[in-house]
Amino acid sequence: MRRRRLRAAITAVAVATATLAALPATTPTPAAAASRPAAARDWSTAVVDSTMARYTPSTIGGWSYPVGLYLYGQYLTYLRTHDARYLTYIKDYVDRFVKSDGSISQSFNSLDSMQAGRLLVILHHETGQDRYRKAARKIRDRLNTYPRTSDGGFWHADNSSRAHQLWADGVYMVNPFLVEYGKEFGDSAYTDDEAAEQLYVYGSHLQVGNGLLKHAYDESKSASWADPQSGLAPEHWCRAVGWYSMAITDVLDAIPANHPRRAQLLSIFRRLAAGLEKYQDPATGRWFQVIDKGGREDNWTETSCSSMFTYALSRGAERGYIDPHYAAVARRGYEGVLAKLSVGADGRTELADISIGTNVGDYAYYVARTRDTNDFHGLGAFLIMNEQLRGD
C-alpha cells in the first residue's frame, strides 16, 4: 500500500506542473487575515506552493535542521491534503543524501544535524524502503557514543566550543525523531525513556522561577556567556524556548500515560505555559525576541517562536496537558502570526520578522539579529502551527 501511494505521488508529479495556483486578487491584507484566521483560504498549501515555486528539491539547501523543519511541516500538509507533489518533493530532497544502500554521508556529531532524520522515518513509513531505516539507524546508533553531561544530557555538539553545553534548541533536534523512530521500528522501550529523560534533564537546568527557560546551560561554567555560579545563559531567547515547547508537546504525545517521567514533564510544561501567557504581547498576541523584556524599545516580536508557542499551547490544551484556557492564549498567538503573513505581487506568500539562526548571546546580540522574510525556521513553525489550528 505504501509503495502504491508513492508511485501514485511520482506519477502525479509527472503529469502536474509545480506551478503555483493562481491566488485571488482580493487576497485579504495581513491585518484582515488576522481578524478572521479560520477563513476558507488554505494558508498551509499557499505557503508550501510558494516555497516549492521558489526552490527545487536540489536548490532548497543542504542537509540541515531548518530545511528539515520546513519539510516536516510540508509533510503535515501532505497528510491532510494528499497532494502527491508534496511527498515526492520531500523524497527528492532526501534522496540527494541517502544512497540506495542506505548510506548517508553525515557524521551526526551535533544535535542540529539529527533533526532532518525525521524525514527518514517518514519516508520509510510511506514507502517501506529499507534504505531509509538504515540511514535513520545511523542516528540512533550515534547516540550510543554521543557525549553527555554528568546527569545524562546530550551535549549540543561534539566539539570543544559546545562541550558540556545544553541548549534548549537541542531537545527538538533529536527527541521528536527518537520517539518517531521508536514507533516506526519497534524501539520505543529505549526511545521513549531517552526522550523523556532528555527533556527532564534539560528542563531541570534551564527552567527558572518565571517558568521560562534560559537559552543554554554550561556544566563546566567556562563558556563566555555562562553565569559563573549557575552556568546559565543570561537571556530567554524566544526560539530556543519555542523548540523546547514543541518538543515537550511531541514527546508527551508519544510516551505512555504511565511513563515515570510524565508527571515531571507535565509540571515543566505547565510552569512554562504560565510564563508564556504572562509575557505574551497584549497588543499583537505574539512573543518578543527576548521574551521577558518586551518593554524595551529595541525588542521586537518574532514570528517563528510565536508559531511554536501557539502550536504547543493549542495542542497542550487540546490534549489536557495544560489548562483549557490556554486555547484562547493560542488563538491570540495564531491571529498575531497571521498578521505577519501576506501575499506579494507575484502571488506568493511572504512571512515576515523571522530571526535568522542564532547562537547564545546577550540581550543586545539577540535584538540585533536579522529579521528575515520566509526563513525556513519560520515557514516550518508556521506550517506546524497552522495544521494544528486552522480547523478551530
| Rounded to 5°, angle at Cα 31 from 27 and 295 | 155
- H-helix or E-strand containing 148? none
pLDDT computed for residue 391 by the predictor = 83
| Residue 169 known to be catalytic | yes
User: Tens digits of per-residue pLDDT, 26-55?
Assistant: 333 343 333 334 456 999 999 999 999 999
- What is the pTM assigned to this prediction? 0.91
Number of H helices, E strands in the chain: 15, 8
Contact 241, 305 (CB under 8 A): yes
pLDDT computed for residue 19 by the predictor = 36
Q: Which residues of the chain have pLDDT under 50?
A: 2-38
pLDDT computed for residue 22 by the predictor = 34
Residue with the three cell numbers 502536474: 16
pLDDT computed for residue 29 by the predictor = 38
pLDDT computed for residue 194 by the predictor = 98
User: Tens digits of per-residue pLDDT, 4-33?
Assistant: 444 444 444 443 333 333 333 333 334 333
CA 97 remoteness from chain centre: 21
Contact 301, 288 (CB under 8 A): yes
Catalytic residue (choose from 83, 112, 169, 353):
169
Distance separating alpha carbons of residues 238 and 206, to the nearest angstrom: 13
pLDDT computed for residue 40 by the predictor = 61
What count of other Cβ atoms lies within 10 Å of the Cβ of residue 72? 21
